[in-house]
Amino acid sequence: MQNTSLIQASNSRLQVEPHLTVIVPAYNEALAITSTIQNIANTLTALSTKWDIVVVDDGSRDETADIVKALSAKLHTTLVRFSRNFGKEYAITAGLSYALGDIVICMDADGQHSASLLSEMLSKWREGYDMVYAVRQDREVESRFKKWGSKLFYGMMSASGQINIPKDAGDFRLMDRAVVNALCALPERNRFMKGIYAWVGYRSIGIPFTPLPRAHGESAFSRLRLMSLAWTGITSFSSLPLRLASAVGVILALLSFAYGIVVVVDKLFFHESVPGWPTVVASMMFLSGVQLLFIGILGEYLARIYDEVKGRPPYIVAEVSRPEGLR
């Protein structure tokens, strides 16, 4: 059935020249943004006569926005500038809402996402796939922190069983307009894009790629931000932490009950004195720590509910600069 639908979608797309839009989230990328946009524009020109680029400046403190505005006229580039730094997930969300294309592609501003891969992605779209994502092949050269953290994160997400996030797939991906419309329709503020991509579904396929070396600067994602993003993903798409809390509570209750029986039997039949004080203090400290830990987990979920019900916009756009021909 799936093969039939792929063939039907493929037949309808073979003769179509789609409008291509590339969205580029950027934060302090003044040194790399010109070459990145130029490379993307050169590739898009070879793929279609209808294309544009949307750069979302995520509150950069350098000249990124001014450089993009200078490029906009000749490279079909729209600048969307945030009022402050809101984060990459929200920059991607904004880019999707400003994208005009039948096909939307998300790429990084640092030049590590090779534009030469766009042709293969477009070929997969013509075969009938609605989403084509790039799968990193260079994990072995990363630090132990990233490798073990990645394994732990994907293991927890897989254990939740709610969605299947492809391992090592990032934001570098092609999306059909139907996928983009579905993503834009989601109202949630706490956005973890990898999870949202997987949640909306559609026919998807991964293709391998190795990131190019950064021409300038270094990644803005620190270990703390990576852990924060991973925790957002876990709490947004999995109730596993709550289930673990319940499981640990049940186990501790059973152990406490068993220990109580041992104490009663010891007192009634063996008339041995219970050491009392060390056992009570150790048990109280342990159980209190576990309770505080799980209250903290509950608090995380409540905080996310609080963020959602306030209804604040996920980001604020301070400026939009779009070439006349794209209006």
pLDDT at 149: 62
Q: Structure pTM?
A: 0.69
pLDDT in tens, 24-79: 998 888 888 888 888 888 888 888 888 888 989 888 888 888 888 887 667 888 88
Whose CA is closest to 17, among 39, 54, 48, 57? 48
Within 14-87, residue ranges assigned H as helices are: 33-47, 64-71
DSSP 8-state code for residue 269: I
pLDDT at 174: 92
The C-alpha torsion from 317 through 319 and 322 to 327, rounded to 10°, is: 60
User: Residue 252 CB: number of other CB atoms within 10 A?
Assistant: 15
First to last CA, the chain: 40
Q: How far apart are CA 236 and CA 231, in angstroms?
A: 8
Q: Which residues of the chain have pLDDT under 70?
A: 1-12, 72-73, 138-163, 214-250, 252-290, 292-293, 296-297, 299-300, 303-304, 306-308, 310, 324-327
Written as one string, the DSSP assignment of 151-220 is HHHHHHHHHH-S--PPTTEEEEEEEEHHHHHHHHT---SS--HHHHHHHH--SEEEEEE-PPPPSSS--S
